[in-house]
Amino acid sequence: MVVDILSDLYLDFYFKPHLTTSDNIISLFGDIFTDNNTKEIGDVLIIAGDIGHYNEQNIEVLKILQEKFYKHIICVLGNHDYYLVGSEAKYTFEDDSFKRVKDMCQLRS
């Protein structure tokens, strides 16, 4: 089994959450996964923390990565995955970072 690993993606630094499209994801990650001159895409991708600051965007990106590149993806959350960015997130998750994490886990289904 071949395992690939990425960390500190901070997806929202590359494009706004409403611009999370398959084309944007492929243009951002395609060369990393397919033109790396070392090997083919692994069997499993591990994302070791700091996916991004917006749950819906994180889940959408993970779904696209799984559809286009990886059969299995394992995520380990980092400190930024607990951040509540802006007053809307603080209100939505009642100023509780663990509620944000619970929401992200429910969105993946």
User: Per-residue pLDDT for 53 more than 70?
Assistant: yes
**What is the Cα 54 distance to its own chain's centre?**
9
Percent of the chain exceeding pLDDT 90 equals: 64
User: Per-residue pLDDT for 44 more than 80?
Assistant: yes
* Total-model pTM: 0.85
Helices 97-107 and 55-68: crossing angle in degrees, nearest 10, is 30
The tokens describing 47, both together, are 């994302």
100 touches 93 (CB < 8 A): yes
What is the spatial distance between Cα 103 and Cα 73, in angstroms, rounded to a whole number? 18
User: Per-residue pLDDT for 34 more than 90?
Assistant: no
42 touches 4 (CB < 8 A): yes
